Structure 1
Amino acid sequence: MPPAHSGNHQLPPANRPGRSLRVSRILGIDYGTVRIGLALSDPTGTLASPLPFLDNQSPEQVTKAISELIHNHQIIGIVIGLPRNMDGTYGPSAQKVRDFIDQMKGSITLPITPIDERLTTAQASKQLSSIGLNQKKLRKKVDSSSACLILQQYLDRNTPLI
């Protein structure tokens, strides 16, 4: 099954020498049924930084919070992790992300680009454990750290959002 996308919207590639600086940001999302990890790019599209996670209590609250972030940070696009199995196939978690994308498209008109998020949670957990976070603190930070890895992967690849 091909990755979901939100239409024909495209963003300019991240800044390269000779290009004018992009002054808007991209939001990274790691969707979870309990918590939604968030990350934000810097205005130049070079570096991703984690934001506090959202509790996934109701679709309305989540959409409202994301809409506020979009407005407050001049966000021009969204990158969301799409879970894939190690063999490249999609499982039930991928469908939950697609449903979440469809829910957001009802009120958010920005381009939403799903990208492969294989192993980002494991990588984020390993990084957070290496700095000595206990399990309780790790659980509170892993989702936004995963969103940060997802967004940084997009920024490093310099692919336009589709």
Structure 2
Amino acid sequence: MICARIEDLAGALPPAGAIAGLDLGTKTIGVAVSDGLRQIASPLTVIRRVRFTADAAALLDIVAGRGLAGIILGLPLNMDGSEGPRAQSTRAFARNLERLTPLPIGFWDERLSTVAAERALLEADASRRRRAAVIDQVAAGYILQGALDRLRYLA
């Protein structure tokens, strides 16, 4: 079930249970997961994109293996808040994923999440190679943490 607003997602989620945060890119999907109490987001992995069916299968393996209760997709809005082609692509991904899982799927504004992730990795003195390898999952962590903070406020 796709939840248009974070408030709708809060109502669709069970009281407890971990959720996933996704940073959808054209070549990769960064994945982060929360703890069961939905307090802290942790970067998990990067899925190399092939085609939707393979991407969704890899994602749903993670969801099933961890017993996740919901999914947050980073929505790449333009800086003025409008939706461009990337946001439309993210919504299409959500619609296709909705056909494969009964879990609630929500969106979170991901503007500047990659910039924040890059800064954090630079401050941690990560090498260029290391930054390239983990940037998407760290960005997914920033997306998920923002959504978790908002969900906690709504509770």
The TM-score normalised by the length of structure 2 is: 0.88
Query: How far is the alpha carbon of 1:52 from its aligned partner?
Result: 1.1
Q: Which has the larger radius of gyration?
A: 1
The number of aligned residues is: 148
What is residue 88 of structure 2 aligned with on the other side?
Answer: 95
Distance 2:52 2:152 in 1: 29
What is residue 19 of structure 1 aligned with on the other side?
Answer: none
1:6 aligns with 2:2: yes
1:58 paired residue among 38, 51, 55: 51
Structure 1 residues 77-97: Cα deviation after superposition (integer angstroms, max 9, x where no partner): 001100111111111111111
Structure 1 residues 92-144: Cα deviation after superposition (integer angstroms, max 9, x where no partner): 11111111112211212211001111100000011111111222211111100
Distance 2:85 2:27 in 1: 16
Q: Counterparts in 2 of 1:77-116, with a 5 A limit? A: 77-116=70-109
What is residue 144 of structure 2 aligned with on the other side?
Answer: 151
Structure 2 residue runs without a partner (length 5+): none
What is residue 115 of structure 2 aligned with on the other side?
Answer: 122
User: Is the CA contact 1:12–1:160 (under 8 Å) kept in the aligned structure 2?
Assistant: no
The amino acid that maps onto 1:31 is L
Q: Give the ranges of 4+ consecutive aligned residues of structure 1 lying more than 2 Å apart after TM superposition.
A: none
- Identity level (%): 35
Higher helix share: 2
Distance 1:101 1:159 in 2: 23
The TM-score normalised by the length of structure 1 is: 0.84
What is residue 68 of structure 2 aligned with on the other side?
Answer: 75
Structure 1 residue runs without a partner (length 5+): 14-21
**SS state at 1:136 partner:** helix
What is residue 26 of structure 1 aligned with on the other side?
Answer: 19
